[in-house]
Structures are given as C-alpha cells and as structure tokens.
C-alpha cells in the first residue's frame, strides 16, 4: 500500500527549489540523491485502466547505456484529496517492453483475467523529470521519503511543466506526512495537489488539462454517519477550490477563477452547515487566506464586469458615435489591463508560504474527520440519522431565507438574502439524494432565481464602481451609474 501526499509548488523560479528545500530545518543535513526518471504510461484505446483507477507504467531510471527498467502497477487512490492510498506493485523488467510475467501475483489477475486488456495496451503519455530525494527518519520511528520532481508531461504533441513535491510514507502513521509537510510549508510555498501525474497526463492527452473543475457532489448513503458525510462533501468542495488555485497558475481562463471561488464558497457555507454536528472538531483558522480570497474576489469582479455585465450596454452608449466608441474601447482596454494585473497579484499571493500551510492544515483536518467523534457522541447522546439531520438543516435554512425575504428593501437586506439563497442552494446540491424531491426542487429553484436576480443588480453596481476607479470619461461613468440602477438592463 502506497500512502502519499502530493503538493504542487507555485514558484516562478523552479531552478532554485532544490537549494531552498535543502536549507530548510526539516531537510538540513539529510543526504540528497538525484535521479532522472522517464515514465511511459499505458492503457487500452478505450482507456479501460483509467476507468478502473488503474495505472500501469514503465520507468527508466538513469540516462546511461544501461538504465534500469521498472514496471509498476498502481490500483485505486481516486479521491478528491492530496493524500492518496493506492495498492502498488513494482518489478524490475528486462527492457522497454511491458512484461505480463511481472504482473503475476498482483491485482492484474482480477483486472484482466483473460489477458485481453494486456494485448491491447499502448503508450498514452510520458512523464520525464529530474527527481531529488531526501529520506527523513524521526524519533517516533516514522520514515518519509521527500521527492522533488521538476520536468514535464508529454502527450502527443503537447506538453506541460511538472513541479511538485511527493511525500511517501515508508514507515509510521499518515500524520507523519502532514507533520513534515507543515514544517516544509513554513519555508516553501506549496498547494495541495489533488490530481496525480497520470490524471494530468490523460487530461493533457485529451486537451482538457485547462478545463476548470466544477462542482461534483458525491453520492451520499443514508447509512453514513454525519461525520462521514461531512468528510465526503467537504473534501469534494475543498478539492474544487485547491484544483482551481493550481490551474490558474498556468491558465488565464476566467472560468477557472470563477470555479475556484465557487469551490471556496461551497466549502465555507457547508462547514457552517455541519458545524453543530462536528462539535469540538473545529476547522483550522483560515485567516492567512484572507488576502488571497480578497485578491480572487477582485479579479472575479473585473472579469464579470468586462466579459458579462458591461458588453450588454455597449450599443446603448455608443449609438454609432465615433467618440463614444473610442471612449468605450479605452474603458474595456483599461479593464483588461486591470484584470491582468490582478491575476498577477493572485499568483503572487499563492507564493506566500502561509497560504500553503493553511491549505495543508485544512487538508489534514478533512482526512482526520472520520476518526473523530461528534459533540453528541461524546456527551453520550445518540445522533439522528443522516437523512433526518440533513432534512432538518435544509428546512432551517429555507425558513431563514423566507424570514429574510421580509427585509429585502435595503442593500444590506438584499445581500443577506443572496447569501442565504447561496447557502440553501449549496446545501440542497450536497444532500440531494437524501431530501424529498418535490420540496427540495422547489426550494432550489427559488434560491437560484433569487440569487440570480439580486446578483445581476450587484454586478451592475460593482461594474460602475470599478469603471469609476479607472478614471474614465465622466459622461461614460455617469451612464454606467444610471445603468446600475436599472432593474432590467
């Protein structure tokens, strides 16, 4: 069983990483080893292995005339977490060809009982990187291998950079991985990496590597405990957030930023929903994330203004006037420049070690949830079933929204109603299979419509504020302030 913690390294200077890591107290005086690794991943034309969360690769170790070839089979490990647990079997093989004999006595016999899959295997993608290894042995007898990988993933005629840390547990408990990673995080910026190298290789091969990760609520069983449900739901939401943070480092698609922000809002809202059941198992402070979250929010506001809100008013303002057209285009260029500068600010914020340390602490908290007891269990009181608890919590949220609708005649009241509508929508999405279909569907649509209506008004107002800050022509600024007051643009 391979237990591993994967961490992306958001740095603009990967060439200095080895030196910086070697000087950290956690790795100081640890002897480093260096390897060049080239890995060829195989699958069938219909990606049968990928569909079963199986990876099969050939690894060439070294660059000399007589390299060592290793064949590795990995099974399982598909989860929305930087911490993975996978079955792993590795054998030395004669050369650069797959060996069926080396798969004897592994899980392959149940994956491919008649050998048909093996006969149709072909290379899909390649990873090639320089690996620096440190082995850290601790007084509690735990042992962790720290691997810095810098190189690239290649699929067909496409490639992408590879820069990450892998912490593999050699002996001891998984907590040793987090203890060491947190020590590293105090000196080096890092991000939880929820996608393995094979997952990224497949995505690169099918040209989907830059696609934003959208909400994918896990299927909850009514047999789950509340804490088990909390782990599954919150893990998926946090994964949406952190995957977006990793992707926006090398992709400027505004939807990536949007989905990352949605992931955080879903996570924060659902943490609040579960809070009474989690009792003393408090979420780690995310105070260190505030600057990053504010920077992401500002970037999203600029993207919405220039791509969604303002274009609908262009023809009404320009009306065929050349001078107005010039003023409008100048405004749009200024917004694009502001968005680019803000995107750089977000990437810079990701290079703050405190950000990665906080994200790592949240990851550890999520992984430890099933082993903890709720407040009710500690007090000796039986818990309600998950289904009963979920229905009760969603009904309470709906009632709060109903009450707030009596007080939406002010901007503050509208803002509060919009927040409650989001929380209700996220909650219904998370517990969809446990709720009564008719009632929850009606509440969901009500929350969505309310969020959209109030959100459109807020976006118009925010766009007018952003444009005014750019110092555009007074006539244009005044026009947009008037547009912001419209109920229907």
Per residue in 416-429, pLDDT (tens digit) is: 999 999 999 999 99
Mean pLDDT of 192-215: 96
pLDDT for 77 equals 67
- Which two three-digit tokens encode residue 402? 């109903």
Per residue in 385-398, pLDDT (tens digit) is: 999 999 999 999 99
pLDDT for 370 equals 78
Mean pLDDT of 186-191: 96
Q: Residue 480 pLDDT > 60, yes or no?
A: yes
Rounded to whole angstroms, the Cα distance separating 362 from 489 reads 42
Q: Residue 488 pLDDT > 60, yes or no?
A: no
Per residue in 118-160, pLDDT (tens digit) is: 999 999 999 999 999 999 999 999 999 999 999 999 999 999 9
Q: Give φ, ψ of 31 to 5 degrees.
A: -75, 130
pLDDT for 276 equals 87
Residue 63 banded pLDDT, cuts 50, 70, 90:
confident
Mean pLDDT of 231-257: 96
Q: Residue 292 pLDDT > 50, yes or no?
A: yes
- Give the whole-number percent of the chain exceeding pLDDT 70: 96
Query: Are 169 and 3 in contact, with CB atoms under 8 Å apart?
Result: yes
Per residue in 13-47, pLDDT (tens digit) is: 899 999 999 999 999 999 999 999 999 999 999 99
SS3 track for the chain = CEEEEEEECCCCCHHHHHHHHHCCCCCCCCCCEEEEEEEEEEECCCCHHHHCCEEEEEEEECCCCCCEEEEEEEECCCCCCCEEEEEEEEEEECCCCCCCHHHCCCCHHHHCCCCHHHHCCEEEEEEEEEEEEEEEECCCCCEEEEEEEEEEEEECCEEEEEEEEEEEEEECCCHHHHHHHHHHHCCCCCEECCCCHHHHHHHHHCCCCCCCCCCCCCCCCCCCCHHHHHHHHHHHHHHHHHHHHHHCCCCCCHHHHHHHHHHHHHHHHHHHHHHHHHCCCCCCCCHHHHHHHHHHHHHHHHHHHHHHHHHHHHHHHHCCCHHHHHHHHHHHHHHHHHHHHHHHHHHHHCCCHHHHHHHHHHHHHHHHHHHCCCHHHHCCCCCCCHHHHHHHHHHHHHHHHHHHHHHCCCHHHHHHHHHHHHHHHHHHHHCHHHCCHHHHHHHHHHHHHHHHHHHHHHHHHHHHHHHHHCCCCHHHHHHHHHHHCCCCC
Q: Residue 377 pLDDT > 70, yes or no?
A: no
pLDDT for 381 equals 60
Mean pLDDT of 55-62: 96
Mean pLDDT of 172-191: 97
pLDDT for 375 equals 45
Q: Rounded to a whole number, what is the distance in angstroms from the first to the last CA of the chain?
A: 59
């Amino acid at each position: 069983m391979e237990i591993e913690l994967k961490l992306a390294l958001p740095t603009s200077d990967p060439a200095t990483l080895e030196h910086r890591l070697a000087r950290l107290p956690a790795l100081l005086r640890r002897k480093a080893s260096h390897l060049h690794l080239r890995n060829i991943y195989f699958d069938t034309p219909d990606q049968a292995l990928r569909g079963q969360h199986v990876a099969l690769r050939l690894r060439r170790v070294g660059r000399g005339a007589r390299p060592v070839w290793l064949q590795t089979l990995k099974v399982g490990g598909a989860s929305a977490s930087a911490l993975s647990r996978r079955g792993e079997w590795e054998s030395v093989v004669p050369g650069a060809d797959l060996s069926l004999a080396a798969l004897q006595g592994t899980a392959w016999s149940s994956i491919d009982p008649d050998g048909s899959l093996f006969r149709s295997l072909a290379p899909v993608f390649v990873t090639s990187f320089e690996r620096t290894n440190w082995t850290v042995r601790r007084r509690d007898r735990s042992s962790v291998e720290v691997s810095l990988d810098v190189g690239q993933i290649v699929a067909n005629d496409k490639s992408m950079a590879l820069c990450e840390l892998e912490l593999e547990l050699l002996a001891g408990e998984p907590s040793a991985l987090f203890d060491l990673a947190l020590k590293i995080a105090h000196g080096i910026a890092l991000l939880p990496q929820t996608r393995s190298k094979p997952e990224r290789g497949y995505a690169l091969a099918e040209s989907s590597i830059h696609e934003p990760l959208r909400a994918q609520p896990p299927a909850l069983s009514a047999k789950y405990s509340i804490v088990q449900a909390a782990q599954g739901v919150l893990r998926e939401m946090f994964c949406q957030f952190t995957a977006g943070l990793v992707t926006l480092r090398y992709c400027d698609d505004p939807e990536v930023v949007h989905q990352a922000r949605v992931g955080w809002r879903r996570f924060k809202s659902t943490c609040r929903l579960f809070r009474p059941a989690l009792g003393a198992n408090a979420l780690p402070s995310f105070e260190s994330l505030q600057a990053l979250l504010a920077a992401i929010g500002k970037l999203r506001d600029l993207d919405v203004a220039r791509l969604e809100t303002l274009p609908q008013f262009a023809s009404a303002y320009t009306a065929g006037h050349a001078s107005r057209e010039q003023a409008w285009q100048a405004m749009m260029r200024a917004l694009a420049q502001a968005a680019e500068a803000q995107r750089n600010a977000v990437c810079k914020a990701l290079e703050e070690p405190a950000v990665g340390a906080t994200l790592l602490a949240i990851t550890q908290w999520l992984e430890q949830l099933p082993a903890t007891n709720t407040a009710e269990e500690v007090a000796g009181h039986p818990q309600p079933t998950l289904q009963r608890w979920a229905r009760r919590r969603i009904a309470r949220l709906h009632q709060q929204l109903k009450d707030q609708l009596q007080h939406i005649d002010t901007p503050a009241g509208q803002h509060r109603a919009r927040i409650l509508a989001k929380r209700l929508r996220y909650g219904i999405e998370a517990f969809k299979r446990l709720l009564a279909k008719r009632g929850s569907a009606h509440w969901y649509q009500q929350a969505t419509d309310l969020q959209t209506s109030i959100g459109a008004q807020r976006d118009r107002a925010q766009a007018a504020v952003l444009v005014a800050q750019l110092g555009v022509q007074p006539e244009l600024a005044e026009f947009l302030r008037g547009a912001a007051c419209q109920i229907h643009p």
